[in-house]
């Protein structure tokens, strides 16, 4: 937890979504451990909470989901996909998709701004590597890269991306990069 600056936060819906996935397992002991790890019994979705509690909760939730997911990394990915689904149902998520329309470049360009709506921990940036590919970087966030892979997969699929590929990697103790690519739809002739 030395990599987490004092005062860094995350919205309560990240806590809520992780707890919800563990609750679906039906394992009350695992749910108890997750609540204890996160330090919150019933987080309010749009309140801000210390990121350190979320990190502990996320790791505990991924451990609880590992058997059903097949691996720890896949459990992280599933937790990321679930929080993205929750976000996309929110007013901010719906607005993001509406503003992007069918323009996936516009969607990718909005990622750093959207990131700031949920995270008070680290910063995101996008660099274009082609007409339908980009590299997204997250600096100063200690969350494991498979979690964000799940988020990107869910968001871009919801926006209609086809043949989507997302590959993340750790590039520093609190820095990750993601290569995103997709097939363009409705190319002009």
Segment-wise mean pLDDT, segments of 10 residues, the chain, 189 residues:
82 94 95 94 88 96 97 98 94 91 92 92 95 96 97 95 96 96 67
Angle, alpha carbons 116-130-174 (nearest 5°): 35
pLDDT score recorded for residue 189:
44
Order the strands of the 119-120 sheet from edge to edge. Answer: 48-50, 9-11, 119-120
Q: Are residues 108 and 179 in the same domain?
A: yes
**Residue 120: inside a domain:** yes
pLDDT score recorded for residue 184:
67
**Residue 148: inside a domain:** yes
State the residue range of the domain holding 16. 9-88
Assess contact for 187 and 170: CB atoms under 8 A.
no
Please count the structural domains in the chain. 2
> Which region holds residue 128: left if phi is over 0, alpha if psi is between -120 and 50, else beta?
beta
Q: Are residues 83 and 111 in the same domain?
A: no
Q: Are residues 178 and 113 in the same domain?
A: yes
Q: Are residues 144 and 172 in the same domain?
A: yes
Model confidence, pTM: 0.93
Q: Are residues 21 and 56 in the same domain?
A: yes
pLDDT score recorded for residue 43:
87
pLDDT score recorded for residue 5:
81
pLDDT score recorded for residue 66:
97
**Residue 1: inside a domain:** no
**Residue 3: inside a domain:** no
């Amino acid at each position: 937890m030395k990599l987490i600056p004092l005062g860094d936060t995350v919205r309560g819906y990240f806590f809520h979504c992780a707890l919800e996935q563990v609750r679906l397992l039906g394992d009350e002991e695992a749910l108890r451990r997750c609540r204890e790890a996160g330090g919150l019994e019933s987080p309010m979705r749009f309140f801000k909470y210390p990121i350190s509690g979320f990190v502990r909760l996320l790791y505990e939730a991924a451990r609880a989901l590992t058997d059903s997911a097949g691996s720890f990394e896949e459990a992280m990915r599933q937790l990321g996909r679930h929080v993205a689904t929750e976000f996309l149902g929110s007013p901010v998520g719906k607005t993001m998709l509406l503003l992007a329309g069918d323009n996936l470049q516009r969607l990718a360009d909005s990622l750093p701004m959207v990131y700031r709506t949920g995270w008070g921990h680290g910063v995101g940036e996008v660099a274009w590597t082609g007409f339908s590919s980009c590299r997204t970087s997250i600096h100063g966030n200690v969350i494991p890269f498979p979690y964000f892979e799940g988020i990107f997969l869910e968001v871009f699929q919801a926006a209609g991306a086809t043949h989507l590929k997302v590959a993340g990697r750790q590039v520093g103790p609190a820095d990750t990069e993601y290569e995103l690519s997709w097939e363009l739809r409705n190319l002009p002739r």
